[in-house]
């Protein structure tokens, strides 16, 4: 059986973001959300340096691409602050799964802005995801 190229990276993402969620709960119980975001950003610095060094001279992009990259960082940072606040006042076993449904926003925006289509099975997944939020938050 042959796996798609993206699958290994996606599985690694699940591992690292799963650890992120667990450690975020440990820290958010003891640290305010804004400070958690500052510390989170400090923790990213070695990765930024490594990515910069690895990219070398290939950092060329157009202004639109750079703008999207900066917006991505801004939205991610705001989301992380909200995530840390939720972890500080909620249970990790509930907050983690509920916030992990963030791709639903991506799906809706992709449908509205990019005119992407979902098939019936994918739409059922979206409905099940929304149902999961309702069940987990009750």
Predicted confidence band of residue 63 (pLDDT cuts 50, 70, 90) = confident
Q: pLDDT digit string (tens) for 72-118?
A: 999 999 999 999 999 999 999 889 888 988 888 999 899 999 999 99
pLDDT given at position 61:
76
With 80 as the cut, is the pLDDT of residue 57 above it? no
The 10s digit of each residue's pLDDT in 17-46 is 999 999 999 999 999 999 999 999 999 999
DSSP 53-115: HHHTT-----HHHHHHHHHHHHHHHHHHHHHHHHHHHS-HHHHHHHHTTTHHHHHHHHHHTS-
């Amino acid at each position: 059986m042959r796996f798609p190229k993206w699958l290994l990276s996606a599985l690694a993402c699940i591992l690292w973001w799963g650890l992120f969620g667990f450690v975020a709960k440990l820290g958010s119980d003891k640290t305010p959300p804004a400070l958690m975001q500052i510390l989170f950003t400090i923790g990213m610095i070695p990765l930024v340096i490594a990515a910069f060094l690895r990219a070398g001279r290939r950092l060329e992009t157009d202004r639109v691409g750079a703008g999207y990259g900066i917006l991505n960082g801004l939205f991610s940072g705001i989301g992380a602050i909200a995530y840390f606040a939720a972890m500080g006042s909620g249970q990790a076993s509930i907050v983690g799964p509920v916030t992990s449904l963030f791709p639903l926003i991506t799906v809706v925006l992709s449908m509205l802005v990019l005119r992407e289509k979902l098939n019936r099975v994918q739409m059922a997944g979206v409905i099940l995801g929304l149902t999961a939020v309702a069940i987990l938050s009750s």
